[in-house]
Structure 1
């Protein structure tokens, strides 16, 4: 079992450069790295950097099927929105102030499990169904 990494600025650089390994890259670390990348880049640039790095990480770890475009875009959008509406000086402050994003399946209110687990959701960022 690897220890969870919390050096989010360094992890963000490694992810952007395609050098981040899966060791210690927990769900909390995913969000901490997202915070750092969104803090350093315009939102659409940040989304491209993060998604590209995450897809590369999953492939390098031998689990390319774990990359999910819908989940990635959903979490990045929620993170960017919370950052814009709050005042967070660090990734840790952001994570402490948004514990609901760390709970299991925070996107389940928007998507069914079947949708999130679909091949289409892994390839294309899907929007929630209306009505």
Structure 2
């Protein structure tokens, strides 16, 4: 499957997730909205944080590599954002429906919720890109 000519938003959840995990999705079509959708779908599919995080990390590294920018992968942002989506899922009556989750969590799609947790300097550090760092700024 290739999504070079298909809008990822038009794909079913299963097809979208398969495109992400096989890197069939075009890196240029894998923006923030797609990152959040992939996080949600992986967490919903596995029902456990660690396996979902592992699958997301592998997929993001592969997509960044396919785009020729493997250095764009950011471990801290990946782990922190996956944890944030996971917490929201636990407290949300979305019923396993991506669209319902997206409607009830627009801030995850339209803003930078990590900005209240991490300073720009923390996220810009080479260490944060390479390994998960705990925030030192109170929310």
Q: TM-score, normalised by structure 2?
A: 0.83
For residues 67-102 of structure 1, the C-alpha deviation after alignment (integer angstroms, 9 at most, x for no partner) is: 110111111001111111112131111111101112
Give 5+ residue unaligned stretches, structure 2.
none
Distance 1:45 1:16 in 2: 13
Cα drift, residue 18 of structure 1: 4.0
Residue correspondences, number:
130
Misfit runs of 4+, over 3 Å: 17-20
Give 5+ residue unaligned stretches, structure 1.
none
Aligned to 2:57: 51
Superposition RMSD on alpha carbons, in Å? 1.9
Question: For the structure 1 residues 57 and 120, does the alpha-carbon distance in structure 2 shift closer, same or farther, using more than 3 Å as the test?
Answer: same
1:111 is paired with a residue whose SS is: coil
Q: TM-score, normalised by structure 1?
A: 0.88
Relative contact order, CA 8 A, sep 6+: which one is greater?
A: 1
Aligned to 2:8: 5
For residues 40-78 of structure 1, the C-alpha deviation after alignment (integer angstroms, 9 at most, x for no partner) is: 112110000001110111111011121110111111001
